[in-house]
Structure 1
């Protein structure tokens, strides 16, 4: 089975349908108000209720509290939660949905806390001070290869584009790729041709199984 692809920062039904048509396995919805891709619960609900059941609906949160997350899950109809702040292992374990913990990778020391988390998958993103994701910056993929030794599904993010998606899959062999700015024309607006190109290039390269079936 080919590598899974999550298109993150979906803000419209048009982009959602285009991403699915391009072959995306999961769509990400930002519930972090400082993000240019932020969606309200109601807007996310309007999009998600139109989506097919086989596509994972991932809510992305940054240091939200339990009640806020649960309200969003109920209103929007999420089936997977991605935590992109400094959420603790105990916090991530409070939810029934599949959970993904994201880590901003700066150096080898950034990997030390990964083993503390019993989430369904670990997402590795680039470290840019003050910006929790969606930066378009790439990090050292050798660190992602090292993280795979933990035996958890690894989702690679940060600076992924149609031009380097195949290299990412071939070098790291991750469970999945998480892409946002690399397939956009402007922040929050996806470009169909870029999504098709990236997904085609990535899925022609590797094998993966587990979280988004």
Structure 2
């Protein structure tokens, strides 16, 4: 099971997450309490291993601004977390993660509208487009035809429920932000335990 730690704002936590098995690190370039400047993200990304996904999170941003930040920060994957159309999402040379807010089975019907490399299924919109710490009903995914799309499960994941999320949704990757924080800050012990739990759950499922 692949794991993305999102909302990273310092090099120490980025490296700690990777050392403990994280496959992707997310940097938020949108309104959020976890937002980061392209310059600061670039300083962190320059010190990360090549094989890691360095994901830039954008919400209803212009294509020109996204490409400018991509070049400045050195991210290698674009996450679009707003109301971006399928046409907009297909207009980039880098891999794209399209986030969809899921509150009903009707929302899941949008999955096949997008041809992106990844689809991130998140909880319904709160104050911010992500990182609200709320899970959606994962059982809705049981009857959905995903057509082998790479699904990233997000929204309200914690150490306590990530195993259930993996078992119900069978995603390609799980994505966590607030679920590995204490008092609004990334917590190294929680990051370590979350990654361990997510990766061991997949092992148990394969046996």
Give the TM-score category using the shorter length: over 0.9
Q: What's the counterpart of residue 5 of structure 2?
A: 7
What is the correspondence of 1:162-173 to structure 2 with a 5 Å cutoff? 162-173=159-170
In 2, distance between residues paired with 1:87 and 1:74? 21
In 2, distance between residues paired with 1:186 and 1:22? 22
In 2, distance between residues paired with 1:177 and 1:197? 14
- Residue from 186, 193, 196 that aligns with 1:190: 186
Give the superposed CA RMSD.
1.3
Matched, 1:114 2:106: no
Q: What's the counterpart of residue 30 of structure 1?
A: 28
Q: 2:202 aligns to what SS in structure 1?
A: coil
Gaps of 5+ in 1: 208-213
* Cα offsets for 1:129-159 (capped at 9, x unmatched): 4420100001100223444533211110011
In 1, distance between residues paired with 2:166 and 2:27? 24
Q: What's the counterpart of residue 53 of structure 1?
A: 50
- Tell me, yes or no, if the aligned pair for 1:12 and 1:47 is still in contact at 8 Å: yes
In 2, distance between residues paired with 1:108 and 1:167? 19
Structure 1 position 191, deviation (Å): 0.6
Aligned residues: 203
Identify which of structures 1 and 2 has the higher relative contact order when contacts are C-alpha pairs closer than 8 Å and 6+ apart.
1
- Tell me, yes or no, if the aligned pair for 2:126 and 2:132 is still in contact at 8 Å: no
In 1, distance between residues paired with 2:92 and 2:50? 20
- Residue from 137, 141, 149 that aligns with 1:140: 137
* Cα offsets for 1:86-106 (capped at 9, x unmatched): 001111111111101000101
Structure 1 pair 183–129 and aligned structure 2 pair: CA distance change class (3 A): closer
Q: Give the TM-score, by structure 1 length.
A: 0.91
* Cα offsets for 1:45-85 (capped at 9, x unmatched): 01100111111100000000001000010000011011000
Gaps of 5+ in 2: none
Q: Which runs of 4+ in 1 moved over 2 A?
A: 128-131, 143-151
Q: What's the counterpart of residue 64 of structure 1?
A: 61
Q: Give the TM-score, by structure 2 length.
A: 0.94
Q: What's the counterpart of residue 211 of structure 1?
A: none
Matched, 1:149 2:169: no
- Tell me, yes or no, if the aligned pair for 1:185 and 1:191 is still in contact at 8 Å: yes
- Residue from 16, 19, 28 that aligns with 1:21: 19
In 2, distance between residues paired with 1:66 and 1:116? 20
In 1, distance between residues paired with 2:26 and 2:111? 22
